[in-house]
Amino acid sequence: MTDNGKINARQFMVLVFLYTIGSTVLIIPAGLASAADQDAWIGALAGVAMGVVIAGLYIALWRLFPGRSFVGICRAVLGRWLGTLLGIVFLFYSFVGATTVLYYVGNFFSIHFLPRTPFAFICALFALIVIFGVRLGLETIARATEMMLPWFLILFIVILLTLMPGIQPEKMLPVFETGWKPVFWAGFTFAATAYMPLLSLFAVFPRIGNPEKARTGMYAFALMGGLCVALVTLLCILILGPDITSRSMFPSYALVKKINIGNFLQRIEAVLAGMWFITTYIKTTFYYYGWVTSLAEMLRLRDYRTLTLPCGMLMVAFALILYPDVAYMLHWDSVVFPPYILFVAFVLPLLLLIGGLIKRGAGRSAPAE
């Protein structure tokens, strides 16, 4: 497959920051409040701590196999055939991730902004932007990400400042009432949604110009992204309360509706929609990028761009049937998704890391002929 450009460490750090926030900032507070009630913010902080461990695992695997994608690592550790089979698992993971986020985009906009627009049209329009970005190449996406960062930070700061007058500290009391088990489960849910999707960035790792600096920055910016989401979760608890937060499909959006400064500055929820559109676009794009480039690598294609349009059509079609209804979505997110993401995004990389270390140790200890 032809090389589609290099990005520098700074661009990668910005990418990690926005990718970690992604769709998490809109949907995760509800799951955390359902699991840990008013201790949801503690669960978010626990998830950030778990995320640092997960990022460390990915960085260790990246350092052990520099210049290789996830499919290449699978083949290097397990051989061509078994490695290709495991690579298909990664393809399915990236595919499902891209279609899931695409579904959330269509669902959010069809409920709150475009109720009379067909769901399929919203998904297709957003997917078209994703396809267009991926076809332009990694360098173009990275530069666009840099341009989006200041706008995201401005919108995020505006939301934080305008929400401050509505804070009610008593809504977070009593602290740690639910015990450590619900907090731990909430933390795992947070890490699974915000940090384990970083696995898709293995498609980007081989194309980073200064990998050592990028590895150091990955820790810091993944941590900052997680803390931003934890801060939004805390505000949901302090302003909406744990009950309303847990019962809202998009609690962050309901949170912004509470902004009212002097009966003049209010109803600025479109600001959150703009902020969330930026991070969700980044997350969908790199889920999709990891899927398409890995598929091209497995098929030994010279250019991954030949796959972008048919794969994009498949992504839209699958997004329309991914969740038949909200009850199915809640069941998938709470029952099926946790063990699935734990196996694919933590157990498999850990086994590859152990296998790679064993293989490297065996190679060094082998006598020279």
For residue range 242-289, list pLDDT tens digits in order: 899 988 888 888 888 887 777 766 777 777 778 888 899 999 999 999
For residue range 137-173, list pLDDT tens digits in order: 899 999 999 999 998 898 888 888 888 888 888 888 8
Q: What angle do CA 147, 153, 157 make, to 5 degrees?
A: 160
Which percentage of the chain shows pLDDT scores above 70? 96
Task: State how far the Cα of 115 lies from the Cα of 32, in Å rounded to an integer.
Answer: 28
Coil, strand or helix: which one is 159?
helix
Task: State how far the Cα of 195 lies from the Cα of 191, in Å rounded to an integer.
Answer: 5
**Using only C-alpha atoms, what is the Rg of the chain?**
21
45 to each of 131, 165, 226, 249, 259, how far by Cα in Å?
34, 24, 8, 21, 25
> For the residues of 67-96, what is the DSSP string, one character each?
T--HHHHHHHHH-HHHHHHHHHHHHHHHHH
Q: Which contiguous run of DSSP H or E holds residue 42?
A: helix 40-64
Joined tokens for residue 77: 């550790």
- Of residues 181 and 266, more confidence is placed in 181
Asked whether the predicted pLDDT for residue 367 surpasses 60, the reply is: no
